[in-house]
A and B are shown apart, each in its own frame.
Chain A
Amino acid sequence: MRQRAPLLLISSGLALAVIALPVLAGLAGTVLPAFGYLPALGGRTLSLEPFHDLLATPGLNDSIRLSLVTGLAAALISLGLAGAFTAAAAGTPVFERMRRLLAPLLAIPHAAAAFAFAFLIVPSGLILRFLSPWATGLQRPPDVLIVGDPAGLSLIAGLVLKETPFLILLILAALPQMPVARSRQLAASLGYGRMTGFVFLQWQPLYRQIRLGVLAVIAFSSSVIDVALILGPNLPAPLSVRLAQWMVDPDLSLRFTASAGAILQLAVTLAAILLWVGLERVGATILGVMRERGLRLARDRIPRAVAIGLPVATASFLIAGFLALFLWCCAGFWPFPDTLPQDWTLRSWRTAWPRLGGPLATTLIAAFASAFIGMVLVVLRLATRPVGRPASVLSQGVMWLPLLLPQVGFLFGLQFLAIRTGTDGSYAALILSHLIFVLPYLMITMQDAWAAFDPRYERVATALGASRLRAFFRVRLPMMMNALLAAFAIGFAVSVGQYLSTVLIGAGRLPTLTTEAVALAAGDNRRTIAVYALLQTLPPLILFAIAAILPALLWRNRRAMAA
């Protein structure tokens, strides 16, 4: 594979093109209307009017502040939890067990996790039902604003629940390349506590490896829509939520304002990232000072227990939230403060069932198609890339682009394009729009596994007379089955969780379980929401289970492979 035939070049570039072209076209399609140019709506000259209109919007500053604070706070808390956990647990068996616990959490769509969290913490939620009236004396739920608080605290907490496992898994992937055991011994021999030793010796190189992931968390949290619709404040809502509402307003001039707002959202996310870079400097300085002072904190049993306990607690919180969803999905009349429903019924499932078929089918079709196409593109890319050469900065940049840009920034423009070409509401456009987000995750998951594969297996096969193609299909792919399945499951879950792209590109005609569930958030019918949230979580979980179990079954007679 030294010589690169045009065909190979094309196939290796295809994955990048499928990400870059729609994103760039979408950006252009957003920028032009932001400056007043959208002939279809009568805007034929460039002007700053959309920005004037935008800045005159009531409550805009609050919306911006919310987006900014949410992005930074969610990233800071998630990274703090994930980092402290790693410092306390790296190199211990707890770490490996955590992986098993966290991987399925990654499969849970954001919207479903947000609902589960809300069902737990609202004043009439499961926690207070369990505590009332015996402990609290409450006969009616307290009149306090928890979900949807103006400061966005519930929104931040809900995001932390999902982003902490994400960051821990990123760390888990990066950690094998670091000398964890040796540096631990070194630190211990010099009298440093386990956590301090880890932070001083390993944190900075580790952080460099997961840095893009952290920035992606900031970008996502500062521009999220579905979670914000469920947990965020609404008077006013975060910036991205208001933009999405303007995009569907009958007042057409608001499309221009929405596009200008998307540019503002890009700036807000960029500002959040720049602030974060400043925070990184501050953190590094503090770390340096602590190191200079020779801070050892040798006795760190209690901090260690807390650092391990907190992520476990957040995971348990999510699981408890799903218990609440299970109770509500089959609840008859269930007034506060009853701990359990007065009676049980399948009525919610029966009424929802006839309407579930379409969205379920769309969800599965889009998820299977985008994960499968994405898989093919990523394997094509990895297989045709020159061996041993690290991925270029450009290709890494392209890969992370959709995760580092706020979705409204390019999806608005993509919707304009889709309407113009008459492809809105088609499966092809929907799958392509999902691919933009599925591909990066597939690539991130696959490229390390691909590089870690021992090339000598294929070499032996070709030496024994197999063609390179045969060696690829009969040796490499089967031996990488674990990684392929795991990546497929992640791609599948990413597609299932897509909200904004499905709403805009699906044009309301291709509803999925996710868009239906989020649409229900407004109605606040707890029983129906529970049905949809559970059903939305089921397909990705099943795929994750298959990805975990299938290799063990396939390789039951290959001891070295089963691990």
Chain B
Amino acid sequence: MTVGKAWLSTALFLVGLVANLNPALAENKAPSVTDWPAIEEAAKGQTVQWNAWGGAENINAYIDWVGDRMEALYGVSVNHVRLSDTAEAVSRVIAEKAAGRIDDGSVDLIWINGENFVAMKERGLLETPGWATALPNWEYVDVEGKPTVVTDFTVATDGLESPWGMAKLTFWHDTARTAAADLPASAKEIAAWLKDNPGRFTYPAPPDFVGSTFLKQLLAETAPKDIDLSQPATDETFPAATKAMFAMLDEMRPNLWRSGQRHPENYPAMKALLADGEIDILFAFNPGEASSGIAAGELPETVRPLPFPGGTLGNSHFVAVPFNAANREGALLLANFLISPEAQIRKENPEIWGDPTVLDVASLPEDDRKAFGALPLGVATPSPAETGPVLVEPHGSWQDRLEAEWEKRYVVGG
């Protein structure tokens, strides 16, 4: 048992170290976020381990381009660690903290939002508050016009994460196969429509973020008005708020694609289903998705948005730096580059990705403004009027409970 005891005491010592770690102490040895020249100097030669969802090819290609630009601009390499679920990176940081790795963590930057952000924020796993708002390019971020860039699922970001893009749940259909008038115009109409069109709709299995978003969309449409979804869910409010929603999901289930026995893993998987005519409705969290799908030959050219006049969920997605990032300076430079006009213009281009910008275009220098204005909208990208108003995300606690309840109902029975 001596080995075990030594192990135990080492672990205790390291856990103690982490607990006593003074943020001010950490800042002493690393350049401060406000000292930008020092950061650029320290970042040179670093390889940033960027942990980001890797399920969509156009996004992966964009991340590669970012890596090339970082190399050219700052001599910083970027390695895209592709995740199928952002929780993988969160768990890695948690494990490292537990194992006492406090300054050479393997994760430098995480593409993150929502409940994963809340989990890291609550556990104190993130770089010092305020770094995001201290980035030089922060001045262009549209805080007033896009309030979700500082509020992530109703939780204040406190400058712990830097916004990267905007999301708005958008639905599409193939005009060659279906007419918009025959299709649902809100999530709660889908169940009834499915009765006459069995097998023509499905959603990714939660906890995939688009699948969970579909549940939240349905929740937002069906929850009784007297329950405030921006407040944390409780044992009282949750059943009351979700009763109608789950009744609807139950009703849908036998008529879902594959009778609900299988769900697509994520939204790109639904593109192939729509292209082959297996399903009639595609949705994604990015209004430019269908346009870039058409450009990539994955979707027919006849795909168009399906209007949801009652509105759909919208939010922002972010990047965050773990507290123990080994290449912290490179990660900060990268976060700053991601909100540069150059990076944001390319990202909004539907032929590249089609992800809406977080910047206030009007505040930009003239050249950049013109470049944004010159971007093609994309044939299948809806105007804001077509997707309706933005519905605000419920508090992060709703998502955890929704996912757990969904699993209990639909995974157990098989």
Contact = CB atoms under 8 A, between A and B. Distances in A.
Interface of A: 39-42, 44, 58-59, 62, 123-124, 139-141, 143-145, 148-150, 233-236, 248-252, 255, 331-333, 335-336, 343, 345, 347, 351-352, 354-355, 358, 419-420, 422, 424-425, 507-509, 511, 516, 519-528
Interface in B297-331: 297-298, 300
B7 A39 contact: yes
Contacts of B81: 508-509, 511
B247 interface: no
A236 B49 contact: no
Given A40-B99, A355-B64, A519-B82, A335 B277 contact: yes
Interface in B29-70: 49, 51, 54-58, 60-61, 64
Contacts of B106: 424-425, 507-509
B297 A528 contact: no
Contacts of B198: 143
Interface string B150-176: 000000000000000000000000000
B300 A335 contact: yes
Nearest to B95: A419
B79 A234 contact: no
B412 interface: yes
B188 interface: no
Interface in B340-370: none
Interface in B362-413: 407-408, 410-413
Contacts of A507: 92, 106
Contacts of B264: 524
A250 B277 contact: no
Among all A-B residue pairs, the 5 with the closest Cβ atoms = A524-B269, A143-B199, A39-B11, A336-B276, A140-B277
Interface string B182-215: 0000000000000000110000010000000000
Given A140-B277, A347-B297, A235 B205 contact: yes
Most buried by B among A123, A347, A522: A522
B223 interface: no
Interface stretch (B130-138, B141-149, B234-242, B255-263): B255-263
A141 B275 CA distance: 11
A97 B90 CA distance: 52
Contact of A248 (B87, B266, B268): B87
A244 B228 CA distance: 37
7 contacts: A40-B95, A40-B98, A139-B277, A141-B276, A235-B262, A345-B297, A525-B268
Contacts of B57: 351-352, 523, 525, 528
Contacts of A332: 297
Nearest to A148: B262
A233 B99 contact: no
B258 A145 contact: yes
A521 B82 CA distance: 13
Given A58-B407, A347-B297, A351-B61, A150 B414 contact: yes
A525 B275 CA distance: 12
Contact of B94 (A149, A252, A524): A252
Given A333-B275, A335-B277, A525-B298, A252 B91 contact: yes
Contacts of B84: 519, 522
B287 interface: no
A507 B92 CA distance: 9
Contacts of B90: 250
Given A140-B276, A355-B64, A522-B265, 16 more contacts: A40-B100, A44-B8, A58-B408, A141-B277, A143-B258, A145-B258, A149-B261, A150-B261, A248-B91, A250-B94, A252-B91, A332-B297, A333-B275, A508-B51, A509-B79, A524-B268
B55 A523 contact: yes
A345 to B, nearest CB: 7
Contacts of B95: 40-41, 252, 255, 419
A289 B300 CA distance: 63
Contacts of A148: 262
A421 to B, nearest CB: 10
Nearest to B200: A143
Given A59-B414, A524-B269, A525-B268, A250 B262 contact: no
Given A509-B106, A522-B266, A347 B296 contact: yes
Contacts of A139: 277
A511 B82 CA distance: 9
Contacts of B276: 124, 140-141, 335-336
Most buried by B among A139, A235, A251, A509: A235
Contact of B297 (A150, A333, A419, A519): A333
Nearest to B51: A508
B88 interface: yes
Interface residues of B, number: 68
B119 interface: yes
B249 interface: no
A41 B98 contact: yes
Contacts of B413: 59
A59 B266 CA distance: 22
Contacts of B116: 250
Given A39-B7, A352-B57, A420-B99, A250 B119 contact: yes
B11 A236 contact: no
B207 to A, nearest CB: 10
B17 interface: no
A520 B87 CA distance: 17
Contacts of A62: 414
A250 B91 contact: yes
Contacts of A234: 205, 262-263, 265
B259 to A, nearest CB: 7
Nearest to B277: A140
A336 B300 CA distance: 11
Most buried by A among B55, B58, B257, B411: B411
Contact of B98 (A252, A519, A527): A252
B259 A145 contact: yes
A180 to B, nearest CB: 47
B278 interface: yes
Contact of A235 (B80, B82, B414): B414
Contacts of B12: 39
Contacts of B126: none
A523 B275 contact: no
B399 to A, nearest CB: 13
A22 B100 CA distance: 23
A526 B272 CA distance: 8
B8 A235 contact: no
Contacts of A252: 91, 94-95, 98
A375 B264 CA distance: 43
Contacts of B414: 59, 62, 150, 233, 235-236
A422 B95 CA distance: 12
A523 B265 contact: yes
Interface string B69-110: 000000000011111110110111011101111000010000
Nearest to B269: A524
A250 B269 contact: no
Contact of A59 (B96, B263, B411): B411
Contacts of A58: 407-408, 411-412
Nearest to A526: B272
A17 B325 CA distance: 36
A38 to B, nearest CB: 9
Contacts of A143: 198-199, 257-259, 278
A62 B412 CA distance: 8
Interface in B246-297: 257-259, 261-266, 268-269, 272, 275-278, 296-297
A235 B278 contact: no
A145 B261 contact: yes
A528 B57 CA distance: 8
A16 B160 CA distance: 50
A337 to B, nearest CB: 9
Contacts of A235: 205, 261-263, 410-411, 414
Nearest to B65: A354
